Amino acid sequence: MKKSTTGFIAGAAGAALLLGGSTFALWSDSVQAPGGEIQSGNLEVAVTGSQWNDISAGSDTGREITLADFKVVPGDTIEGSFDVDLALQGDNLAAELRLAGGQAFSGALAAGLINVSYSVEDAAGNEVLSGNSSGVNLDLVSLKNRAPGNAVAVPASIDGTADLTVKVAVTFNAETKDRDLVEAAAALETSAIELVQVRQ
């Protein structure tokens, strides 16, 4: 037998042995995915200041008062102002600012307090929302959230500066008869200014 024929038979036999005991290996490739850190946003509310004013018609409107010292009479209207510092951080973060529990009074004088109203003003003093005794809910979004609508955009962190002012006005019924409710008192129940995330 010629050398070339012998070499071919030996090579074929070797290939047959390799194929008989294994499977085909098709091409594959892989790469390691880079790691990363997932970070959460922020939602925070703080009251930076508060005061009460006498805003009664015919009075020195806007005069600051101390509730413990001021003696309200029928026809008077007083207003509490609460400066609110807000933080919303999150690309899809939306929230509502709510005043909860602020319409509830206890004590004998509560029967004479009427026309409880609420308003929210921006940092420039412009009213952005008002409501009656049921309270107010104001829509807010983070600066990165481009959701449509009339929602107010809020910075990403608390900085000690008021973003909004929540106001509560209360009127003592001018039609109170005789000496009803003289030397009476009413306590404004604990109020909560809430910042609550919503999905829009």
Q: Is residue 84 part of a domain?
A: yes
Q: 147 pLDDT exceeds 80? A: no
In 10 A of CB 72, how many CB atoms? 22
pLDDT, tens digit, for every residue of 177-189? 766 666 556 655 5
Q: Is residue 24 part of a domain?
A: no
**CA–CA separation, 154 vs 145, rounded Å?**
10
Q: Is residue 10 part of a domain?
A: no
Report the candidate in 123, 52, 41, 54 with the shortest Cα–Cα distance to residue 85. Answer: 123
Average pLDDT across the chain, whole number: 78
DSSP H/E element including 13: helix 3-20
Residue 124 CB burial class (10 angstroms; 0-12, 13-18, ≥19): exposed
Q: Is residue 20 part of a domain?
A: no
Q: 159 pLDDT exceeds 60? A: yes
Q: What is the longest distance spanned by two Cα atoms in the chain?
A: 138
Q: 197 pLDDT exceeds 90? A: no
CA distances from 52 to 75, 161, 174 (A): 17, 19, 20
Phi, psi values for residue 173, rounded to 5°: -50, 120
Q: Is residue 177 part of a domain?
A: yes
Q: Is residue 161 part of a domain?
A: yes
Q: Is residue 27 part of a domain?
A: no
**CA–CA separation, 182 vs 164, rounded Å?**
36
pLDDT, tens digit, for every residue of 108-121? 666 667 777 888 89
Q: How many domains does the chain have?
A: 1
pLDDT of residue 17: 45
Range of the domain at 119: 43-198
pLDDT, tens digit, for every residue of 70-129? 888 888 888 888 899 999 998 888 898 887 555 566 666 666 677 778 888 998 999 988
Report the candidate in 140, 121, 141, 139 with the shortest Cα–Cα distance to residue 130. Answer: 121
Q: Is residue 155 part of a domain?
A: yes
